[in-house]
Protein backbone atom coordinates (compact mmCIF):
# COMPACT_ATOMS: atom_id res chain seq x y z
CA UNK A 1 0.00 0.00 0.00
CA UNK A 2 1.47 3.32 -1.01
CA UNK A 3 0.26 6.84 -0.28
CA UNK A 4 1.83 9.70 -2.17
CA UNK A 5 0.22 12.46 -0.09
CA UNK A 6 0.99 12.33 3.61
CA UNK A 7 -1.30 13.90 6.15
CA UNK A 8 0.38 17.16 7.15
CA UNK A 9 3.93 16.55 5.96
CA UNK A 10 6.26 19.51 5.80
CA UNK A 11 9.96 20.00 5.30
CA UNK A 12 12.03 22.49 7.29
CA UNK A 13 15.42 23.56 5.99
CA UNK A 14 17.95 23.46 8.85
CA UNK A 15 21.34 23.51 7.13
CA UNK A 16 23.04 23.47 3.77
CA UNK A 17 23.60 20.18 1.97
CA UNK A 18 27.21 20.00 3.20
CA UNK A 19 26.19 19.76 6.88
CA UNK A 20 24.34 16.45 6.61
CA UNK A 21 21.63 16.20 9.29
CA UNK A 22 21.80 12.55 10.37
CA UNK A 23 20.68 11.71 13.92
CA UNK A 24 17.64 13.20 15.67
CA UNK A 25 16.24 12.94 19.19
CA UNK A 26 13.59 14.66 21.27
CA UNK A 27 15.20 16.58 24.10
CA UNK A 28 13.82 17.12 27.60
CA UNK A 29 13.46 20.83 26.71
CA UNK A 30 10.64 20.43 24.15
CA UNK A 31 13.06 20.75 21.20
CA UNK A 32 14.58 18.35 18.66
CA UNK A 33 18.34 17.75 18.79
CA UNK A 34 20.25 16.85 15.62
CA UNK A 35 23.69 15.70 14.59
CA UNK A 36 25.26 17.31 11.52
CA UNK A 37 27.51 14.45 10.48
CA UNK A 38 29.55 16.30 7.83
CA UNK A 39 30.10 19.65 9.58
CA UNK A 40 30.73 18.26 13.08
CA UNK A 41 27.93 20.16 14.80
CA UNK A 42 24.97 19.56 17.06
CA UNK A 43 21.83 21.58 16.35
CA UNK A 44 18.72 22.39 18.37
CA UNK A 45 15.46 22.78 16.48
CA UNK A 46 12.30 24.11 18.10
CA UNK A 47 8.99 22.69 16.81
CA UNK A 48 8.29 26.07 15.17
CA UNK A 49 11.47 25.86 13.10
CA UNK A 50 14.09 27.90 14.96
CA UNK A 51 17.59 26.42 14.63
CA UNK A 52 20.61 26.96 16.86
CA UNK A 53 23.96 25.30 16.06
CA UNK A 54 26.73 24.23 18.42
CA UNK A 55 30.10 23.48 16.78
CA UNK A 56 32.02 20.55 18.28
CA UNK A 57 35.77 20.78 19.01
CA UNK A 58 36.53 18.77 15.86
CA UNK A 59 34.64 19.56 12.62
CA UNK A 60 35.55 16.11 11.27
CA UNK A 61 34.47 14.01 14.30
CA UNK A 62 31.31 12.76 12.48
CA UNK A 63 28.58 12.88 15.12
CA UNK A 64 26.09 10.14 14.23
CA UNK A 65 23.32 8.98 16.57
CA UNK A 66 21.96 11.14 19.42
CA UNK A 67 19.73 10.26 22.37
CA UNK A 68 18.32 11.90 25.49
CA UNK A 69 20.29 10.74 28.53
CA UNK A 70 19.20 10.03 32.11
CA UNK A 71 20.84 13.27 33.29
CA UNK A 72 18.77 15.76 31.26
CA UNK A 73 21.53 16.11 28.63
CA UNK A 74 21.84 14.76 25.08
CA UNK A 75 24.46 12.07 24.34
CA UNK A 76 25.84 11.22 20.91
CA UNK A 77 28.44 9.07 19.18
CA UNK A 78 31.47 10.56 17.39
CA UNK A 79 32.25 7.92 14.80
CA UNK A 80 35.42 9.42 13.32
CA UNK A 81 37.36 10.30 16.48
CA UNK A 82 35.98 7.47 18.62
CA UNK A 83 34.44 9.51 21.41
CA UNK A 84 31.08 9.75 23.16
CA UNK A 85 29.80 13.32 23.27
CA UNK A 86 27.48 15.06 25.73
CA UNK A 87 25.68 18.37 25.31
CA UNK A 88 23.46 20.05 27.89
CA UNK A 89 20.26 21.79 26.78
CA UNK A 90 22.14 25.02 27.46
CA UNK A 91 24.84 24.10 24.91
CA UNK A 92 27.71 23.02 27.19
CA UNK A 93 29.70 20.29 25.43
CA UNK A 94 32.13 17.62 26.62
CA UNK A 95 33.34 14.30 25.23
CA UNK A 96 34.88 11.06 26.48
CA UNK A 97 37.40 8.90 24.60
CA UNK A 98 36.51 5.20 24.21
CA UNK A 99 39.29 3.00 25.70
CA UNK A 100 39.52 0.66 22.68
CA UNK A 101 41.30 2.45 19.79
CA UNK A 102 39.50 3.02 16.47
CA UNK A 103 36.21 1.67 17.85
CA UNK A 104 33.84 3.59 15.54
CA UNK A 105 30.89 4.20 17.88
CA UNK A 106 27.55 4.41 16.07
CA UNK A 107 24.33 3.60 17.96
CA UNK A 108 23.55 4.94 21.43
CA UNK A 109 20.55 4.62 23.77
CA UNK A 110 19.45 5.40 27.28
CA UNK A 111 19.75 2.16 29.27
CA UNK A 112 17.49 0.79 32.01
CA UNK A 113 20.33 1.13 34.56
CA UNK A 114 20.83 4.91 34.51
CA UNK A 115 23.71 4.68 32.00
CA UNK A 116 24.02 5.07 28.22
CA UNK A 117 24.78 2.05 26.03
CA UNK A 118 26.46 2.27 22.63
CA UNK A 119 27.81 0.11 19.81
CA UNK A 120 31.40 -0.03 18.55
CA UNK A 121 31.02 -0.76 14.87
CA UNK A 122 34.71 -1.36 14.10
CA UNK A 123 35.71 -3.42 17.16
CA UNK A 124 32.76 -5.77 17.82
CA UNK A 125 32.00 -4.38 21.25
CA UNK A 126 29.06 -2.95 23.15
CA UNK A 127 29.95 -0.06 25.44
CA UNK A 128 28.37 1.41 28.55
CA UNK A 129 29.02 4.97 29.76
CA UNK A 130 27.83 6.49 33.03
CA UNK A 131 26.71 10.12 33.14
CA UNK A 132 30.09 10.86 34.76
CA UNK A 133 31.85 9.47 31.66
CA UNK A 134 33.09 6.11 32.97
CA UNK A 135 33.18 3.55 30.16
CA UNK A 136 32.92 -0.26 30.32
CA UNK A 137 33.17 -2.41 27.19
CA UNK A 138 31.79 -5.88 26.43
CA UNK A 139 33.24 -7.97 23.59
CA UNK A 140 30.87 -9.77 21.22
CA UNK A 141 31.42 -13.48 20.44
CA UNK A 142 31.70 -12.78 16.70
CA UNK A 143 34.19 -10.88 14.50
CA UNK A 144 33.39 -8.33 11.78
CA UNK A 145 29.78 -8.12 12.99
CA UNK A 146 29.33 -4.32 12.68
CA UNK A 147 27.07 -3.73 15.70
CA UNK A 148 24.94 -0.79 14.57
CA UNK A 149 21.83 0.55 16.31
CA UNK A 150 20.91 -0.23 19.93
CA UNK A 151 17.76 0.17 22.02
CA UNK A 152 16.51 -0.64 25.51
CA UNK A 153 14.12 -3.59 25.26
CA UNK A 154 10.91 -4.21 27.19
CA UNK A 155 12.74 -6.92 29.19
CA UNK A 156 15.31 -4.69 30.90
CA UNK A 157 18.09 -5.73 28.48
CA UNK A 158 19.66 -3.92 25.53
CA UNK A 159 18.98 -5.08 21.96
CA UNK A 160 21.15 -4.25 18.96
CA UNK A 161 21.58 -5.00 15.27
CA UNK A 162 24.61 -6.84 13.90
CA UNK A 163 24.69 -5.41 10.40
CA UNK A 164 27.31 -7.77 8.94
CA UNK A 165 26.69 -10.84 11.14
CA UNK A 166 23.01 -10.73 10.05
CA UNK A 167 21.67 -11.10 13.57
CA UNK A 168 19.96 -9.31 16.42
CA UNK A 169 21.92 -9.25 19.66
CA UNK A 170 20.81 -8.94 23.26
CA UNK A 171 22.99 -7.90 26.19
CA UNK A 172 21.95 -7.76 29.82
CA UNK A 173 23.16 -4.91 32.04
CA UNK A 174 25.61 -7.47 33.49
CA UNK A 175 27.12 -8.16 30.07
CA UNK A 176 25.54 -11.53 29.19
CA UNK A 177 25.17 -11.72 25.42
CA UNK A 178 22.85 -13.76 23.17
CA UNK A 179 22.63 -13.61 19.37
CA UNK A 180 19.56 -14.31 17.22
CA UNK A 181 20.35 -15.01 13.52
CA UNK A 182 17.94 -13.55 10.96
CA UNK A 183 15.94 -15.89 8.68
CA UNK A 184 16.79 -13.84 5.55
CA UNK A 185 20.44 -14.14 4.47
CA UNK A 186 22.35 -10.88 3.95
CA UNK A 187 19.53 -8.76 5.37
CA UNK A 188 21.96 -6.24 6.95
CA UNK A 189 19.86 -4.95 9.87
CA UNK A 190 20.43 -1.33 10.97
CA UNK A 191 17.76 0.61 12.93
CA UNK A 192 16.13 -0.91 16.02
CA UNK A 193 13.40 0.19 18.44
CA UNK A 194 11.24 -1.19 21.24
CA UNK A 195 7.47 -0.75 21.18
CA UNK A 196 7.11 -1.78 24.83
CA UNK A 197 6.21 -5.40 23.99
CA UNK A 198 8.64 -6.46 21.26
CA UNK A 199 11.67 -5.10 19.43
CA UNK A 200 11.42 -3.90 15.83
CA UNK A 201 14.28 -3.51 13.35
CA UNK A 202 14.88 -2.72 9.69
CA UNK A 203 16.74 -4.79 7.11
CA UNK A 204 18.43 -2.28 4.80
CA UNK A 205 19.65 -4.85 2.26
CA UNK A 206 16.53 -7.04 2.19
CA UNK A 207 13.91 -4.26 2.19
CA UNK A 208 12.06 -5.73 5.16
CA UNK A 209 10.89 -4.74 8.63
CA UNK A 210 11.53 -7.33 11.34
CA UNK A 211 10.03 -7.98 14.74
CA UNK A 212 11.66 -10.05 17.48
CA UNK A 213 9.65 -11.13 20.49
CA UNK A 214 11.20 -11.55 23.93
CA UNK A 215 11.40 -15.33 23.46
CA UNK A 216 13.57 -14.78 20.35
CA UNK A 217 10.91 -15.50 17.73
CA UNK A 218 11.47 -13.43 14.57
CA UNK A 219 8.92 -12.31 11.97
CA UNK A 220 9.87 -10.43 8.81
CA UNK A 221 7.56 -8.18 6.80
CA UNK A 222 8.64 -7.35 3.21
CA UNK A 223 8.19 -3.75 2.02
CA UNK A 224 6.31 -3.14 -1.25
CA UNK A 225 9.61 -1.81 -2.65
CA UNK A 226 12.40 -4.20 -1.65
CA UNK A 227 15.03 -1.65 -2.77
CA UNK A 228 13.75 1.05 -0.38
CA UNK A 229 16.76 0.64 1.99
CA UNK A 230 14.99 1.20 5.33
CA UNK A 231 17.43 2.83 7.75
CA UNK A 232 15.99 3.93 11.12
CA UNK A 233 12.84 3.01 13.05
CA UNK A 234 10.90 4.39 16.01
CA UNK A 235 7.82 3.13 17.84
CA UNK A 236 4.85 5.48 18.30
CA UNK A 237 2.84 2.88 20.21
CA UNK A 238 2.78 -0.91 20.70
CA UNK A 239 2.52 -2.49 17.25
CA UNK A 240 2.86 0.91 15.53
CA UNK A 241 6.31 1.81 14.15
CA UNK A 242 7.59 4.44 11.73
CA UNK A 243 10.75 4.13 9.66
CA UNK A 244 12.83 6.01 7.10
CA UNK A 245 13.40 4.65 3.60
CA UNK A 246 16.79 6.01 2.65
CA UNK A 247 16.64 4.50 -0.85
CA UNK A 248 12.91 5.05 -1.40
CA UNK A 249 12.81 8.70 -0.21
CA UNK A 250 9.80 7.91 1.95
CA UNK A 251 8.63 7.63 5.54
CA UNK A 252 6.97 4.27 6.18
CA UNK A 253 4.58 3.07 8.85
CA UNK A 254 3.92 -0.51 9.94
CA UNK A 255 0.96 -1.40 12.14
CA UNK A 256 0.10 -4.89 13.30
CA UNK A 257 -2.93 -6.61 14.65
CA UNK A 258 -2.18 -10.22 15.47
CA UNK A 259 0.03 -11.64 12.72
CA UNK A 260 -1.25 -9.25 10.05
CA UNK A 261 0.89 -6.21 9.29
CA UNK A 262 -0.19 -3.20 7.27
CA UNK A 263 2.47 -1.00 5.66
CA UNK A 264 1.76 2.57 4.56
CA UNK A 265 4.34 4.79 2.90
CA UNK A 266 4.55 8.55 2.46
CA UNK A 267 6.72 10.25 -0.17
CA UNK A 268 9.04 12.98 1.09
CA UNK A 269 8.53 16.44 -0.49
CA UNK A 270 12.04 16.78 -1.97
CA UNK A 271 13.56 14.14 -4.27
CA UNK A 272 16.59 12.12 -3.04
CA UNK A 273 16.56 13.79 0.39
CA UNK A 274 18.31 10.83 2.09
CA UNK A 275 16.22 10.32 5.24
CA UNK A 276 18.18 8.88 8.16
CA UNK A 277 17.22 9.29 11.83
CA UNK A 278 13.59 9.44 12.96
CA UNK A 279 12.04 10.27 16.31
CA UNK A 280 8.72 10.97 17.97
CA UNK A 281 8.75 14.70 18.69
CA UNK A 282 7.64 16.53 21.83
CA UNK A 283 4.56 17.60 19.84
CA UNK A 284 3.47 14.01 19.07
CA UNK A 285 4.54 14.29 15.41
CA UNK A 286 7.20 12.19 13.66
CA UNK A 287 10.41 14.04 12.79
CA UNK A 288 13.03 12.69 10.37
CA UNK A 289 16.51 13.99 9.55
CA UNK A 290 17.25 14.43 5.84
CA UNK A 291 20.95 14.31 5.03
CA UNK A 292 20.51 16.85 2.22
CA UNK A 293 19.84 19.61 4.78
CA UNK A 294 16.25 19.34 5.95
CA UNK A 295 13.99 17.90 8.59
CA UNK A 296 10.66 16.34 7.66
CA UNK A 297 7.74 16.65 10.09
CA UNK A 298 4.88 14.21 9.69
CA UNK A 299 1.90 15.23 11.81
CA UNK A 300 0.02 11.98 11.93
CA UNK A 301 -2.79 11.37 14.37
CA UNK A 302 -1.69 8.99 17.10
CA UNK A 303 -3.85 5.88 17.37
CA UNK A 304 -6.19 5.83 20.36
CA UNK A 305 -4.59 4.11 23.38
**Could you tell me which residues come within 8 angstroms of residue 11 by beta carbon, excluding any fewer than 6 positions away?**
268, 269, 270, 273, 290, 294, 295, 296, 297
Least Cα distance to 106 among 88, 122, 86 occurs for 122
**Could you tell me which residues come within 8 angstroms of residue 190 by beta carbon, excluding any fewer than 6 positions away?**
148, 149, 161, 163, 201, 202, 203, 204, 230, 231, 232
Least Cα distance to 7 among 303, 300, 217 occurs for 300
Write out the H or E segment, with its range, that includes residue 34.
strand 32-36
3-state helix, strand, coil in the chain (%, to 5): 0, 50, 50
Task: Say which of 38, 82, 231, 276 is annotated catalytic.
Answer: 276
**Alpha carbon distance 78, 63 (integer Å):** 4
Cα 163 off chain centre by: 14
**Alpha carbon distance 98, 11 (integer Å):** 36
**Alpha carbon distance 284, 250 (integer Å):** 19
**Could you tell me which residues come within 8 angstroms of residue 234 by beta carbon, excluding any fewer than 6 positions away?**
193, 241, 242, 243, 278, 279, 280, 286
**Alpha carbon distance 256, 80 (integer Å):** 38
What is the number of other CB atoms lying within 10 angstroms of the CB of residue 102?
10
DSSP 8-state assignment for residue 3: B
Active-site residue, 276 included: yes
Active site (catalytic) residues: 276
Amino acid sequence: MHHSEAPDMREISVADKAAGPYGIAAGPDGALWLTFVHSGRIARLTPDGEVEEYPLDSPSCRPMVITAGPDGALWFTRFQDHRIGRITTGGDIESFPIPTPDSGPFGITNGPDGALWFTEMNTDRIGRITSEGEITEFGLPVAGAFPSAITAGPDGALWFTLNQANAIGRITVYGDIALHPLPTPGAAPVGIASDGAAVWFVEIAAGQIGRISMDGGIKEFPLPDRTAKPHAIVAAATGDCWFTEWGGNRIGRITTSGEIAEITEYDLPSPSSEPHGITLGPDGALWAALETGGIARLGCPRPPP
